[in-house]
Amino acid sequence: MINQETSVGDIVKSHFQTVKIFDYYQIDFCCGGKQSLSDACKKKSVDLNKILQQLEEVIKIPVLTPKFDEMPLGELIQYIKEKHHSYIREQIPMLTKFLNKIEQVHGSHHPEIELINTHFKESVKNLSEHMEKEETELFPLIENLVKIQNGKLSNASSFTIDAEESISSLIQDHENEGSRFEEISRLTLGYQPPQGACNTFRAAYENLFAFEKDLHRHVHLENNILFPKAINLELDVKKNS
């Protein structure tokens, strides 16, 4: 049952279809997933009873969304790589092209575009490094911890990184990029193009908005599901080794 004290991260973890409600009210369910629904509503000046009703209604609608909280960790990692890491890499060239073009053509009349483009380029750099670190260090570590738990690998003594320490750094990356996109959203007035904006201008803002929404879902899966389970798994393996 959902109530005012349920964390928004737990709500999304159990009922992924609720993301569209939190998206609508711009409630942070990924980096801010530990906040209670009551606190989140106060922060955004949203009526608690109204959003509770909307959440209950959307939960009743049958969906085909995977049950992420029940996925084996290996499957969840594969999903994150195929769905979210791939999406980021696919979107970067197009968004870079759009933003460079509108800065060049419209930057003199819309000086905010230069700052938006600067933020996006910094995010691209940081997210690329972040995903590389996950794919080459943390994800293989988690997969090896699963093998140890299943008796397919002998011990963890040869591991060169610590999952909990690595995750702490990765969560900080998430928070940094979440804050960066909050600023991009502010600068774009909630991704609303100016009156009479050209098609490229509109496409840039529409795709930036989609990029941010995907990032929220991506971070939720890691912060609120994968990372806590990985830390607990590491503790169990160390305790039993």
**In this predicted model, what pLDDT tens digit does every residue of 10-37 receive, in sequence order?**
999 989 899 999 998 989 898 888 999 9
| R_g (Cα) of the chain, nearest Å | 20
Confidence of residue 222 (pLDDT cuts 50, 70, 90): very high
Q: Is the pLDDT of residue 241 over 80?
A: no
Confidence of residue 224 (pLDDT cuts 50, 70, 90): very high
From residue 102, how far is each of 62, 113, 167 by CA, in Å? Answer: 41, 7, 37
What's the mean per-residue pLDDT of the chain? 92
Confidence bin at 78 (pLDDT 50/70/90)? very high
- By percentage, how much of the chain surpasses pLDDT 90? 77
pLDDT digits (tens, 9 = 90+) for 118-170: 999 999 999 999 999 999 999 999 999 999 988 887 766 667 678 999 999 99
Q: How far is residue 6's CA from residue 92's CA, in Å, rounded to a whole number? A: 35
pTM of the model: 0.87
- Looking at residue 94, what is its pLDDT? 96
The model's pLDDT over 173-208, given as tens digits with 9 standing for 90+, comes to: 999 999 999 999 999 999 999 988 899 999 999 999
Residue 33 has a pLDDT of 87
Residue 42 has pLDDT above 70, yes or no: yes
Average pLDDT over residues 59-87: 93
What pLDDT score does 158 carry? 62
Sole residue written with tokens 């690998």? 153
Tell me: pLDDT of 1 over 90: no
Beta bridge partners of 36: 7
Please give the pLDDT value at position 238: 83
